[in-house]
Structure 1
Amino acid sequence: MKVTNLRVNHLTNPMGYQMDQPLFTWVTSNAKGSFQKSAQIQIALDNSFENIVFDSSNSEEISSLGYKADIRLKPHTRYYWRVQVWDDADDHGISDTAWFETGKMEEEWNAKWIGTPYDGHLHPYIRNEFHIPGKIKSARAYVSGLGLYELEINGEKCGDEYLAPFYNDYNEWVQYQTLDVTECLWEGKNVVGALLGNGWYKGRFGFVDKMDQLYGNSFAFICELDIVLETGEHISIGSDETWQCHPSPIVSSSIYDGEIYDALQEVKDWSAVQADTEGFENACVLTPQCGALKERLSPPLVITKRINPIQLLDTLAGEKVLDFGQEVTGWVEFDCHLRKGAKVKLSYAELLQDDNFYNENLRTAKAEYTYRSNGELAHVRPHFTFYGFRFVKVEGVEDIKLDDFTACVIHSDLEQTGNIRTSNQKINRLFENAMWSQRGNFLDVPTDCPQRDERMGWTGDAQVFCATASFNMYTPAFYKKFLYEMYLEQKNQNGSVPHVVPDVLGQIAKIQGQENDAHGSCAWGDAACVIPWTEYLFYGDKELLAEQFKNMKAWVDYIKTQDETYCGGKRLWEHGFHFADWLALDNPDKKSSFGGTNPYYVASGYYYYSASLTAKAAEVLGFAGEQKYYERLTEEVKTAIQQKYFSDGNIIEDTQTALVMSLYMGFVPENQKTQVIERLKKKLDDKKCHLDTGFVGTPYLCPTLSKNGLNDYAYTLLLNEDFPSWLYEVNMGATTIWERWNSVLPNGYVSDTGMNSMNHYSYGSIVEWMYRYMCGLNPVESHPGFKEVVIKPQTDDRLGWVECEYLSAAGLYKISWKIEQGKTTYHVSVPFDSQAKFVLPKASSQATINGEYNHDLVENSEVMLSAGDYKIITVG
């Protein structure tokens, strides 16, 4: 038996995270038995477990999906933990030791926020020299900055994270990071230092070209070093007015525009003990414009891949352009051999036009990096920006060597959990495109795009892609941070959800003295309900659902207030601005970004849907009163929708999206369900089986078709190669998911430079259908976390074979099917402590499991499978 994937609050060995009470999860595999009989968790102050501070004892009540230990944690303390598991075959296993470490918690800071006496645009070095009078046992740095910081000790960068303290709503809070700096320090003289950049805190960010500040106008930094000597002596060193500052070589930094770095202004070895500190002056203690300083929630933001360029292009315009072969998010690092004073400039772009460099779809974002050489060999990278790109134009280098340049892919460090492969290479490329768009847009928050002057946490995009994201990667900690900030915003908007989280648009409105109306749109705001329920379904964590139930309630109560205030309490949402079926193709006005479906129909549909999810969450959490309240509200909204839009047997709102919503969400009258299905079929037939749906309709389209007897239509939509379709993008050379169905026209030209991203994951939600229906893997609400699933692969002769793996919260599922010579062979692996109902897509005259005839499959087309590996063969 193996006990692995040990996590605390869904993080591996977390250090310095918000943690009132730790929640423990793990995965068991290679067991002799099928089910967990009992488990035991121990927590100690040492990795030999001689000083145990918590022992659950051997208990049958402990679940691998989440065990909340009743332990009072102490600040800045490392705890070690392990779990033992017993199964139904008397097999037993014990995990390796894992750990978690608390931050400062409620302890007072022995450090002050400090800044510089310089102009707010001048990027500083911050440094401090100190002496350690003995050998070091351990050392921690508790650190944060406004906007971004990079910490160095004794001439080396500390840790492997970038763009800290990440993307926060600085009005509400600022995250600090806890770093293990034991190996960075030594006995004797040491130096700690930081570079500071604008990031998301100050400078330009949002739909405003010229803005000196977003949240604040001054750099700030705070750092506390806690050092324990081998003698047991504690040393604490905190930032204050005795620390020193100096202008840095970073001339400017901007999320949108990039960075300018002048190596001629470097202070050699500035963060090392041998630095010449002439010209440095004392820092200033200040009170920055920001919310409370708190332990972090953000998973690490790290470089996850490095990619070399595949070719150097000499364009018709005489440009030198590196092609990395894949659109990514991050930056390019390079080795610089230039003479003193020479400059190299990198410009970033997603695609070419007329075989020339092109970046007009980035709008006002310059997306550049300029480096001025001091004549010394240097390895060069930006510090406080990132880019979305495949192509990089290089200026200032005559002899370009491909080996000198590397693209660094940066995103939140989430484990990839899912993978799909098929006999169709274009479908495989589509899957990879969705995965790359997730990588490119999971940069601390789920952004819409990583390249133009936007890059915000759009809630609508996050909502429609959440399930796909959770198949692809392990997401609970990532969404926990996003939903935490969402609720901070909801509290300021009477429960309404901003269009983007953090609410940058609201902050801009505040700065400009305008009313903040960038909130309260259906489908966007419904992220407050859809994401928490999806995460519960995928991971089975009731504690997380309980924490996020307040998001759900606040949003539904806001809609109800809108209904009763502006709509007469009709239980329809017919007020306010709504994106609705954004970027759908069925609007007669082809210049409009709005879809053709009545936005108030979409809003009312989501009113029903979010109320129903909130009622389900209340039931799971045992909140009987709230369950009844939201169940009653759900039925009232359903009745109102049916009376208005499905009266007298007529379908009033007759679009692909409207029909799909009614079937998927479940508010279509039962006696009209067949009529709606036939009408949807007719709508597709009229388009020669092509979609015209947008951000709302597309995620639900193929699942609804497969669930309602039109699986062949779902496959046709998937396999279409002409516009509009997913494979049209693939055929046009896409390596990520486009924002629009026609982001690039058949002639190769960008269709619209005003709002056109080549890396926008929303339409990548087709991958959820691929997992659930093509591969057949579906979680069961009554047993979340994939402890019980329905496996019902919806096969199609147009694909010869399909393979899927998904490392769920319960363990690894494997599903494959292959069609040949009238026979379908399925391979299914069900993980330990889980079970699956395997359902055939159609009746079979012959069926065997592991070589033996199976009566249930032949007679009922389904069979229950416990943990194990199965080969299922059907004929007919």
Structure 2
Amino acid sequence: MSTSLSLQHLRCEHLLDPLGIDALTPRLSWQLHSEKRSQRQTAYQILVASDLENLQADQGDLWDSGRVQDRNSVLIPYAGRPLGSRQRCCWKVRVWDAEGEVSDWSNAAAWEMGLLHSEDWQAQWIGLDWKLDAVHPQVMMPARLLRQRVLLPAEVVRARLYVSARGVYQASLNGVRVGDEELAPGWTDYDVRVQYQTHDVTALLHRGENVLGALLGDGWYCGHVGFLQVNRPNRHYGSVPQLLAQLEVELDNGERLLFTTSGDHGVWEATLDGPVRSSDMLMGEVYDARQELSGWDTPAWTVGEARWRPVQTFRGGVRLVADRAEPVRRVQTLPVQDVRPLGEDRYVLDFGQNLVGWVRLRVTGAAGQEVRLRFAEMLNPDGTLYTENLRYAQAEDRYLLRGEGEELWEPHFTFHGFRYAEVRGLGQAPTPGQLEAVVVASDTPFTGTFECSDEQINRLYSNIVWGQRDNFLSIPTDCPQRDERLGWLGDAQIFARTAAYNADVAAFFSKWMVDVADAQSPAGGFPDVAPRLTDTADGAPGWADAGVIIPWTLYLHYGDLGPAREHWDAMERFMQYLEEANPDHLWLNRRHHDFGDWLAQDGDDPENAFGSRTPREVLATAYWAMDAELMRRMALALGRLDDAAQYGQLHASVRSAFRAAYLEENGWIQGHTQTGQVLALRFGLLEDSERQAVTERLLEAIARKDGHLATGFLGVRELLPALSENGQVEAAYSLLQRESFPSWLYSVRQGATTIWERWDGWTEAAGFQNAGMNSFNHYSLGSVGEWLFKTVAGIDTATDDVGFATVLLRPQPGGTITAAQGRVLTPHGEVTSAWSVQKGIFQLEVNLPANTSARLTFPDGFQTGILEGGQPLSQVESFTVSSEFEIRLGSGRYLFTARESLAAGVKG
């Protein structure tokens, strides 16, 4: 008899059918689906074959796991024959259910290994040094065009292109673009490692003459990035962009041919005479369509007037690694919502959404006519673009027309953060469809949704999502518009859990953790930014700690111990780095920039206008204690029992030192700020008997601000959980729904479509804040999204059965919200929680995927008369009541109702 279970969403290393990976023991995952309640996996069998034919014949010639008694369906390590470079692996899985019945085999999935050894690479780095061309001595260089003829004497059976750049590239074969990645190969520390991409190009090649081409730009490697400094505005890693490409072709006559960027495998030629006159991430792109070389990357190309030269080769020596995360792609387009004239042939376009990307242009006009596009997030009172906050980033694109009918153009190697664009040079008012915004981002699949009965909270959640989409671009940037766009660790760690609810960021953060580890100093300090650039000091408290917090978050949310295992030595060096400098277990030394509770609203600090009144040593020591506890938990999960005991002792020592130094008898934490109180409550620094007094002082701190929040970057994530976890749900909702300044909804009321960097980025009383640091697209303060999912919708994972193998369902209604629902696509499948309160009846709809269970706790005030499917709990067999108000559920769909207790007020 066949089971009701079916298998879907097969993944390898968090990715669907990845091509060109370098994990030597790839980890395999799948999800189970069943309409039957309490259905689960008790065993599995995985087959991995070298080709689809063997797999279809149930021949696992690479690995047959046999029947393995195990409930786990997430990140199962491959344990078959050793895998070599270029190895193609086809796989499928079947499982046994709770009754011992076996499922059908899943559909086939696949992965392919990349080039695993340095000797696999025959290619060399090539490029064209701009100094050779006296006509183009400008700082911002034209993009290079590079080409190579590829002669194939027979039909193609299989072809792979392995390609990378020191800079950014777009590859093509016979005039057809290869892949759909933008800004490839992505940002890493190019002095340490460079990513490469693998493409199946079998269908793009044919017998006879072919041409492999590449457009090569500056990108992060030698373009402007970070804070623009007079003495080093660009060229942080090198002065010339370079290409690395290796085309491997198998023919139907049995031949295997190799074409690479080196003199041994065909002649490459390059020119600076293409149409992309400059393309810089901060400055924008200049494109002269009159210089287009039509067909330059096809066999039909004739040289014409372009000056093609032999390429130069450059030294290698850097480690090449396979791209391990989703690439940057075009993910959406948005039309113009409004057009406002500013004068003769000058218009401001409003796209209705602050976004990241560029504008696609359709235009007709005379040869040499120039269209200019400038970008901004906000408008000045007179309707012009507010660009002061861009600092030195020019953010301007220029297009010079070819003059031959309708022309379609979009830039190649730049991106902008904007809601508004000013266009000049069209010769007439923009027409519908003539300009549209192209949104680009790392293509992390979105996995969560949240909505409730309060439309302003829904707008807040949308702003959180857009802030994430806009700033997750190869790395988690802090902002997408000004001359910065760096991977700040503090911003990332406080937002990481919200990000994981919104999207599948497991591969994205796993890649970025490599950047963090690459940036660790010889002394052991993690940085403030990764890749470490411009800001070269060791990291501050709350920032450097991301080196521990991100691996923990990936383990908690996805059940992925890989980053913790991979970076364990780096994390240990960081912990030793702290303890060596702070033998008394108060983090007083090695605090470096020491940003404190950045951009808090709890009073002016004469020493730091961007900081807060929370004493920096209080904040730092609280983070150190949390680091130690997270290290203890990860050590236990990794089976490192001695390390777990060591970090347990360290946590106890730091906790004791914190309490002795900073906990006052009346429950105040030194400094008497909201952030100090919430960190003590949230980071396990208190005895149970002390929590009430510390919570009461927190309420006093909120009352001192007339019922408003005052937390900055580090306190904001912990504020509402500290309240709701300590019996103050209504106080938390009051802060969430407050509309006056400072609050989350204040920016919503001002029309914000993303999260602002500062609570006071713009206020009715003062207008714009200091333009020196005033981003309107910054995700940090959006870390409240985690609380929307965990507390309002009520979806969380157990810490003793991570990755949502056991789901915690704990919705807590409050405020004026009468309904809410959340959906989270977990590693096991979709979890939904939807509740409403009407006339004293609490109704909750729940869906749990197969192979999971849940612990459901009903909210305070709604714990009487509980029914499921209209039946008393005692008559329902598919779950157990483990305590008076907690129910243990198996997988399936449920509909609960509960009556409001007499002591509670009626909602709805």
Confirm or deny that 1:329 pairs with 2:356. yes
Whether the aligned pair in 2 keeps the contact of 1:847 and 1:857 (CA below 8 Å) is no
Distance 1:452 1:691 in 2: 28
Q: Deviations over 1:216-260 (max 9, x none)?
A: 001211111111112332111111242111112221121111111
Aligned to 1:221: 243
Point out the more displaced range, 756-765 or 312-321.
312-321
* 1:356 match: 384
Number of aligned pairs? 861
The alpha-carbon deviation at position 61 of structure 1 amounts to: 2.7
From 498, 509, 518, give the equivalent of 1:488. Answer: 518
Return structure 1 stretches of 4+ with deviation > 6 angstroms: 856-859
- In structure 1, the partner of 2:401 is 373
Quote how far apart the aligned CAs of 1:286 are.
2.3
Structure 1 position 621 matched with structure 2 position 638? yes
The 2-side partners of 1:666 and 1:117 are apart by 57
SS at match of 2:771: coil
Residue 235 (str. 1) matches residue 289 (str. 2): no
8 A Cα contact 2:228 2:392, kept in partner: no
Tell me the SS of whatever aligns to 2:692: helix
- 1:579 and 2:595 matched: yes
CA contact (8 A) 1:2 1:28 kept: yes
* Alignment partner, residue 891 of structure 2: 867
Residues 542, 589 of structure 1: alpha-carbon distance in 2 compared, 3 angstrom cutoff: closer
- Confirm or deny: 8 A CA contact 2:225 2:234 kept in the other structure: no
Structure 2 residue corresponding to 1:136, chosen from 156, 162, 170: 156
CA deviation after TM superposition for structure 1 residue 22, in Å:
0.6
Cα distance per residue 1:736-794 (max 9 Å; x no partner)? 00000111112683222110111100111111000010111121111011011221101
How far apart are residue 849 of structure 1 and its match? 1.2
Note if contact 1:334-1:380 (Cα within 8 Å) is conserved in structure 2.
yes
Provide TM-score, normalisation by structure 1.
0.95
1:661-672 aligned at under 5 Å gives the runs 661-672=679-690
Q: Deviations over 1:377-426 (max 9, x none)?
A: 32211111111111111111023223022211111111111101111111
Q: Distance in 2 between matches of 1:97 and 1:471?
A: 28
Alignment-derived partner of residue 73 in structure 2: 64
Show the 5 A alignment for 1:592-603: 592-603=609-620
Give runs of aligned pairs for residues 130-169 of structure 1, distance below 5 A: 130-169=150-189
Query: In the TM superposition, what whole-angstrom CA distance separates every residue of 1:25-66 from its partner, at most 9, and x where no partner exists?
Result: 111112545111111111111123145311111211362112
Structure 2 contact 346–425 (Cα < 8 Å) conserved = no
Query: Cα RMSD between the aligned structures?
Result: 1.9
- What secondary structure does 1:696 align onto? helix
Distance in 2 separating the partners of 1:619 and 1:768: 25
Say if 1:84 and 1:94, in contact at 8 Å, map to a contact too.
yes
Q: Deviations over 1:113-162 (max 9, x none)?
A: 11225328343110011211111112111111121111011112111101
State the partner residue of 2:270: 245
User: What is the identity percentage for the equivalent residue pairs of Structure 1 and Structure 2?
Assistant: 34
- Which residue is 2:877 aligned to? none
Query: Is 1:73 aligned with 2:100?
Result: no
2:96 to 62, 86, 94: 86
Q: What secondary structure sits across from 1:200 in the alignment?
A: helix
Task: Find the partner of 2:289 among 263, 280, 288.
Answer: 263
Give the 3 Å change call, closer, same or farther, for CA 574–494 of structure 1 in structure 2.
closer
Q: Does 1:398 align with 2:427?
A: yes
User: For 1:285 and 1:625, how far apart are their aligned partners in 2?
Assistant: 54
**In 2, Cα distance between equivalents of 1:224 and 1:617:** 40
Match of 1:512?
Answer: none
Matches within 5 A, 1:266-665: 266-278=292-304, 279-288=306-315, 291-315=318-342, 319-354=346-381, 355-376=383-404, 377-399=406-428, 400-490=430-520, 492-505=521-534, 516=536, 518-564=537-583, 569-577=584-592, 578-589=594-605, 592-649=609-666, 651=668, 652-665=670-683
Deviations 1:185-235 (A, max 9, x none): 111111111111111000322223443521000121111111111233211
* Map 1:682-701 → 2, pairs under 5 A: 682-701=700-719
Q: Which residue of 2 aligns with 1:34?
A: 39
In structure 2, the partner of 1:827 is 845
SS of the equivalent of 2:527 reads coil
Alignment equivalent of 1:118, drawn from 120, 130, 137 = 130
1:60-115: CA deviation from partner (whole Å, max 9, x where unpaired): 13621121012311211221111112211325143211111111111432222112
**What amino acid sits opposite 1:35 in the alignment?**
R
Question: How far apart are 1:650 and its partner, in Å?
Answer: 5.8
* Matched residue, 2:195: 175
Cα deviation, 1:824-863, whole Å, max 9, x if unaligned, reads 1111111111111110112523111111112687971111
Q: Is the 8 A contact 1:240 1:283 kept in 2?
A: no
d(CA) in 1 for partners of 2:34, 2:338: 45
Match of 1:780 among 774, 792, 798: 798
CA distance in 2, matches of 1:212, 1:710: 51
For 1:367 and 1:385, the matched residues in 2 are separated by 9
Once residues 191 and 806 of structure 1 are traced to their aligned partners in structure 2, the CA distance between those partners, rounded to angstroms, is 46
Cα deviation, 1:420-463, whole Å, max 9, x if unaligned, reads 11111111111111000100011010110111111110000000
Contact kept, 8 Å, 1:304 with 1:411, in 2: the verdict is: yes
1:642 touches 1:669 (CA, 8 Å); kept in 2?
Answer: no
In 1, Cα distance between equivalents of 2:723 and 2:129: 64
Q: Structure 1 residues 65 and 124, CA, compared in 2 at 3 Å: closer, same or farther?
A: same
Q: Is the 8 A contact 1:202 1:213 kept in 2?
A: yes
Matched, 1:204 2:224: yes
Letter in 1 for 2:390: L
State whether residues 149 and 165 of structure 1, in contact with CA within 8 Å, keep that contact through their aligned partners in structure 2: yes
| Aligned partners of 1:174 and 1:291 also within 8 Å | yes
Amino acid corresponding to residue 17 of structure 2 in structure 1: N
Question: 2:550 and 2:202 mapped to 1: Cα distance?
Answer: 39
Asked if structure 2 preserves the Cα contact closer than 8 Å seen for 1:849 and 1:873, the reply is: yes
d(CA) in 2 for partners of 1:563, 1:755: 33
Contact 1:560 1:571 in 2 (8 A): no
1:723 partnered with 2:741:
yes
2:17 to 13, 34, 41: 13
1:268-297 deviations in Å (ceiling 9; x for gaps): 211111212244444334224772222222
SS in 2 for 1:471: helix
Indicate if the aligned counterparts of 1:40 and 1:62 stay in contact, CA closer than 8 A.
Answer: no
Cα separation, partners in 2 of 1:769 and 1:317, compared to 1, 3 Å: farther
Superposition deviation, residue 671 in structure 1: 3.5
SS at match of 1:834: strand
Q: Deviation at 1:681?
A: 1.0
Q: Distance in 2 between matches of 1:91 and 1:858?
A: 31
